[in-house]
Amino acid sequence: MTFSETWLYCQVMEMRRKLEGSTRLDMEARAKVMKALGHPSRLFIVDELSFGERCVCELTEMIGADISTVSKHLTLLKKAGIVLDDRRGQQVFYRLRVPCILNFFGCIEAVVKETGDGE
């Protein structure tokens, strides 16, 4: 085995070991996060928040949807633990709760590139 094959094997085995200890509730929590990311507008919101906090009004303008639709997307992301909100007077600002969620984007890009689905 080459070094990279050995490294990959170790990574897979470590992940398998971690998942074996997972409960059904752990898997459901993970699925909730993945489902929350399963819409183009929500992916856009997370990507946009990677540059810093945004108010709902800014996101509404960027997405081109009505405020109630954007608010529903933000509520779903908040319930999944992806974003946090901060009310300031009449405006609500959102930011990423855990910026490491962006690491998942890199993995998605690798899959899209490998499968050619982005063309």
Q: Where are the domains of the chain?
A: 3-115
Q: What is the pLDDT of residues 35-62, one digit of tens each?
A: 999 999 999 999 999 999 999 999 999 9
Q: What is the pLDDT of residues 55-111, one digit of tens each?
A: 999 999 999 999 999 999 999 999 999 999 999 999 999 999 998 888 888 888 888
> 54 — phi, psi (to 5°)?
-140, 150
Considering the domain delimited by 3-115, tell me its CATH architecture.
Orthogonal Bundle (1.10)
Q: How many CA atoms lie within 13 A of 49 on its CB side?
A: 28
Please list the residues that pair with 87 across neighbouring strands.
Answer: 92
Query: How buried is residue 70: exposed, middle or buried, by Cβ count under 10 Å (0-12/13-18/19+)?
Result: buried
Alpha carbon distance 58, 45 (integer Å): 10
